[in-house]
Chains A and B, each alone.
Chain A
Amino acid sequence: MESPQNQKISIKDLSVLYGEAPALQSISLNILKNLITGIMGPSNSGKSTLLRILNRLTDLIPNILIRGQVLLDGTDILIPGYDVNSLRTRVGMVFDKPIPLPRSIYENLTFGPRMHGLKDRRQLDERVESSLRSAQLWDEVKDRLFESALKLSGGQQQRLCIARTLAMQSEVILLDEPTSGLDPISTAKIEEALQTLKENYTIILVSNNTKQIARISDKVAFFLMGELIEYGPADKLFTNPSHKRTEDYVSGRFG
């Protein structure tokens, strides 16, 4: 049994409808601290929807209907009136495409903290350095912090986006297929960064790349057509899955 202290996010009987079309069907899932939880499944399986519910980016989607509970440290984040902006500072998001804002590297990292009231220059500098170090980007950009972030390569931009989330001092990092557009070397660097980051953060990684999930996840959830088919330790899912459909998916028979 998982002890409740380890639980960061607890999803209870979560169902999502886009208009009439169900995107997720009564999902229950406990996500643990200091682990990388991989979420895999073919397209349209509801992975991204689940991720976007966790920091309520789903609020932007019209005609979406959400039922159920999502507890973050025991508090339901889906209740009306919940402070969404502070939720999003705690639960950071890295998107599938690297999206640096059209500003300097430094400004990209300090933008969030400044908007939330951090003005002290020295503290901002510290956050920039520590988040860049954690995202393993510091050595590559330390001499050009004030150059445009758009000049970085795709892989560097994506690590910058991870660092941007770290600079917010988030507790949970959501990654939505963060390496889908990157070459293998950039991908390896990001995976390496995530491995060290899990010591301090709760990481949830959505990926179409089953091998990537297998490489770096501790626990894996397999989604299919909006249903959670199987959830368990990565070793078990990949070597000895309980469900036929999981086995078919990880062995590459479909998806």
Chain B
Amino acid sequence: MKHLNPIIWQLFVKIQLWTLTSLTVSILVFIIFFILFNGLPQISWEFLVTNPTDMGRGGGILSAIVSTLYLIIISLFFAIPLGIGAAVFLTEYTREGRLTKIIRFGVECLAGIPSIILGLFGFALFVMSFGWGWSLISGGMTMSIMLLPTIIRTSEESFKAVPYEYREVSFSLGLGKWSTITRVVLPSALPGVVTGIVLSIARCIEETAVVIFTAGSSLRFPNSIFESGRTMAVHFYILAREGISMPKAYGTAAILILSILTINISAYLIMRYFMKRYS
């Protein structure tokens, strides 16, 4: 190897790396195409706006879509203020020290909890102790615990990326600490914060273990957040696992993939718009 011509060696490495990269991307592309190839034929307007019938063998997935939306809204409702609040505290109200290290370590640990354990915890606390039963509120609150580390970490990073000088400018314009955070730091950090939130939405859409334990798997259309609901991911899991209907399972999977792609792409576009506007 030592005596190989450096140009050939470079070429060799380049081809190797290129192959590895394209392999990675092709796996993604393959999964997406596989799901869409099998799922798209199942999708129609009917599929989106009718409730499932006969355990999911017939009908569409309206109730699953609505349950998923409920779950997203509830978990974000709790996770956004808590997460951003914690990030503000960590970056703006404390100096780096023992306390912040402990908090950060705690957040890391929270991120490391397996979702099935978190589901069990949510089951024990919200479903049983609080007596809320299998319900979207139990599921949403458990999910919000799961989302916290992501939101805290991404928000914290984006707060830190806001130049310290912006804060000085804001103070020297006579703004207090809180106005400085809400009017100067937060707007500048918004693209990063939004990224965290978008990642969280995707987590809500794709999560199964936590949701089965806490929100249950009722197929009925959820009329309130205190009722059980089956999200799309859970619906797909049950349809496929219990062999109820593979075509419907693929249809659901296709909707899942499409919604996650849509969310990611639109988040990217929104962020690019914000970045472009003032830089």
Which residues of chain B come closer than 8 Å to A112, judged between CB atoms? 173-175
Given contacts A62-B95, A85-B174, A111-B173, contact A150 B279 (CB under 8 A): yes
A99 touches B163 (CB 8 A): yes
Given contacts A102-B188, A102-B278, A102-B279, contact A85 B176 (CB under 8 A): yes
Total cross-chain contacts (CB, 8 A): 63
Binary contact readout A149-177 vs B (1 if CB under 8 angstroms, 0 otherwise):
11000000000010010001000000000
Cβ of B166 under 8 Å from chain A: yes
Give Cα A93 to B168, complex, Å: 9
Size bracket, chain B contacts: 20 to 34
Binary contact readout B186-225 vs A (1 if CB under 8 angstroms, 0 otherwise):
0010000000000000000000000000000000000000
Cβ of B34 under 8 Å from chain A: no
Cβ of A34 under 8 Å from chain B: no
B279 touches A92 (CB 8 A): no
Which residues of chain A come closer than 8 Å to B188, judged between CB atoms? 101-102
**Interface-centre pick from B166, B171, B172, B184 (highest chain A CB count, 10 A):** B172
Size bracket, chain A contacts: 20 to 34
Distance in Å: Cβ of B277 to nearest Cβ of chain A: 7
Cβ of A60 under 8 Å from chain B: yes
Which residues of chain A come closer than 8 Å to B171, judged between CB atoms? 57, 60, 88
Cβ of B183 under 8 Å from chain A: yes
Which residues of chain B come closer than 8 Å to A104, judged between CB atoms? 278
Give Cα A168 to B278, complex, Å: 23
Cβ of A95 under 8 Å from chain B: yes
Binary contact readout B151-186 vs A (1 if CB under 8 angstroms, 0 otherwise):
000000000000101101111111110010001100
A residues at B contact (CB < 8 Å):
55, 57, 60, 62, 85-89, 92-93, 95, 97, 99, 101-104, 111-112, 115-116, 148-150, 161, 164, 168
Q: Which 8 A-B pairs have the closest CB atoms?
A: A89-B174, A93-B172, A112-B173, A88-B174, A102-B278, A148-B278, A99-B165, A85-B174
